[in-house]
Structure 1
Amino acid sequence: MKALDAIDRRILTMLQDNGKATNKEIASVLGMSITPIYERIKKMEDAGYIKKYTTVVDKDMLGYHLMAFCNVRLKEHTKEYLERFEEQVAELPEVSECYHVAGNFDYLLKVTVVDMEVYHFFITTKLATLDNIGHVQSSFVMKEVKWEINVPIE
């Protein structure tokens, strides 16, 4: 696919703001017909610009009131150990994000649970039992100041 043009970027911006926007709605805003909008979106999906469509739910309404960021340091840093840790942590439903980072720690995990008791259970029976864990340091979210899933599209 060629580089994104201004129309593609506007379409992506609109879809980030409302993933349920129809091709008809997008076409109307952009002053275009439905078919070219459909074709542009399909090309962006096929090229990987659009990874998936999802629904953002309110974690607090569902009872998930504790969010923590876990810095994890591994004991060994061979390719096999890193891959194994990534496979294992990907299976933990409490972990919504995992990043391999540079610095004092190897990984940063975003963990969302109901409360501290559940977090303690997660740390002691799940995370601490993974292969090659050397050290875990947790930071707890006191207040969510900004949360944004959208990528700025210029």
Structure 2
Amino acid sequence: MTKLDSTDLKILNLLQQDGRMTIKELSGKLNLSTTPVFERIKKLERSGVIDHYSAILNTEKLGMKLTAFAHISIKDHSKELIEAFVKEVTEFPEVQEFHYVSGASDFMIKVLVQDIEKYNHFILDKLLSVPNIGKVESLFSLRARKKTAIVAL
């Protein structure tokens, strides 16, 4: 775990709210000069605390209206087969998240597609073509009340 001081945490909170904030704007909000703020951000990037920068898209406006959570059980739990399974499934562009889980299934994926037809195509033509799948159970989001990428620090 990377050791962070209060200034690092303030920088991270500000960047989570607006990743396009300039060094000058950050400096003004932190009452620091630009050089130390720039150096701290570079340190946070190098250490991997800041993983990357991206835009958060409005999926509804892009026609991506169906979010599904697929719980997947696999047949064989050997290391090689699990690694091959993970590699193949995480490469599908429809898969937004991939989690190892405890409980009745082995994995859970979050899938984002336009509609139920596209989801059916994803399951039948893509996911079930991956070797070693034993069972897939799908849950569909009826309405998202909170979607955020902000981490509470």
8 Å Cα contact 2:98/2:110 also seen in 1: yes
CA RMSD of aligned residues (A): 1.1
What residue identity is the alignment partner of 1:112?
L
What residue identity is the alignment partner of 1:138?
S
Partner in structure 2 of residue 124 of structure 1? 124
Can you list the C-alpha shifts for 1:91-116, whole angstroms capped at 9, x where unaligned? 10000100011111010000000001
User: With structure 2 as the length reference, what TM-score do the two structures score?
Assistant: 0.98
> What is the identity percentage for the equivalent residue pairs of Structure 1 and Structure 2?
41
Partner in structure 1 of residue 138 of structure 2? 138
C-alpha separation between the residues in 2 aligned to 1:147 and 1:64? 15
8 Å Cα contact 2:2/2:47 also seen in 1: no
Partner in structure 1 of residue 40 of structure 2? 40
Structure 2's unaligned 5+ residue stretches are none
User: Residue 24 of structure 2 aligns to a residue in which SS?
Assistant: helix
8 Å Cα contact 2:94/2:113 also seen in 1: yes
User: With structure 1 as the length reference, what TM-score do the two structures score?
Assistant: 0.97
What residue identity is the alignment partner of 1:40?
R
Shift of residue 147 of structure 1? 1.1
C-alpha separation between the residues in 2 aligned to 1:152 and 1:50? 14
8 Å Cα contact 2:71/2:108 also seen in 1: yes
